Amino acid sequence: MEPVLYVICALFGAVIGSFLNVCIDRLPAGKSLAYPPSACDSCQHRLSPPDLIPVLSYVFLRGRCRYCGQRIPLRVLCVELLTALLFIAVFYVSGWSARTILTFIYGSVFIVIAFIDMEHKLILNKVVYPAAVIALLVLAIASLAPQAGLFNNVIMLPRVTILSGIIGAAAGFAFFLLVYLIYPQGMGEGDIKLAGLIGLTTCFPLVFVALFIGIVAGGIAAVLLLATRRGGRKTQMPYGSFLSLGAILTLLWGTDLLTWYLGLF
């Protein structure tokens, strides 16, 4: 496919990424996304357009505020680059399709959830609930108009309908509720709701691929954390970040991963 389309995807992704940074900064603090305009966290100087160019501003300002010299969190750059990468990958996987737009949206939601959980150890209802409503609407549309082929290349079995979404959500929710009841210290209530959202967006049976990746990645990180003894015993794992990673990888390559895995037997 045309390289220029990938460049456009990357630019679009970086711009969306800079909006996701605003969400990650403001949603946990209960601030409005629309007002006030962006300002430096430490000197409160209002940022002008040259300060707001995704990726480039950070690089040219060497990660510091133009006005007071205070460090801008590296996360700002990470989120912009990751979103750009995500959008390239999504377009590579699904080209011009409804699925591409949908994966842009879901992927963005999971990036916001992942980074808020990383920084605050929180999974916000005000992110999860609206995303769940969108996912239910999408599933309803996909069920009513299967000929629209919204998910044609996403799911193997059964075809995506509102039923496979609800089964996926119920499976994710129930599994994490069980883990939570057995071992309440392991995760929070937010993780259970997030598992439900992942089920709604990836559907049955891919929800299991997403949760599997999340649990394995989280487990590896926990072991590494223990091995390096960083943070001591009180360190709380942001499992929501790992589950979000699993969800994004599954939205992109879930069918391939599941086919490959089943082919092993």
For Zn ion, the binding residues (CB under 5 A) are 40, 42-43, 65, 67-68, 70
CB of 27 to Zn ion, least distance (A): 22
Contact between 46 and 37 under an 8 Å Cβ cutoff? The reply is yes
Question: Residue 210 half-sphere exposure, CB side, CA atoms within 13 Å?
Answer: 34
CB of 29 to Zn ion, least distance (A): 18
CB of 17 to Zn ion, least distance (A): 21
CB nearer to Zn ion: pick between 60 and 260:
60
Q: Which amino acid is it at 59?
A: V
Report the DSSP beta bridge partners of residue 64.
Answer: 71
Sequence-distant (≥ 6) Cβ neighbours of residue 51 within 8 angstroms: 38, 57, 61, 66
CB nearer to Zn ion: pick between 65 and 207:
65
Question: Residue 12 half-sphere exposure, CB side, CA atoms within 13 Å?
Answer: 16
CB nearer to Zn ion: pick between 31 and 64:
64
CB nearer to Zn ion: pick between 49 and 232:
49
CB of 48 to Zn ion, least distance (A): 12
Q: Evaluate the CA torsion angle 77, 109, 23, 53 in order and state its sign.
A: positive
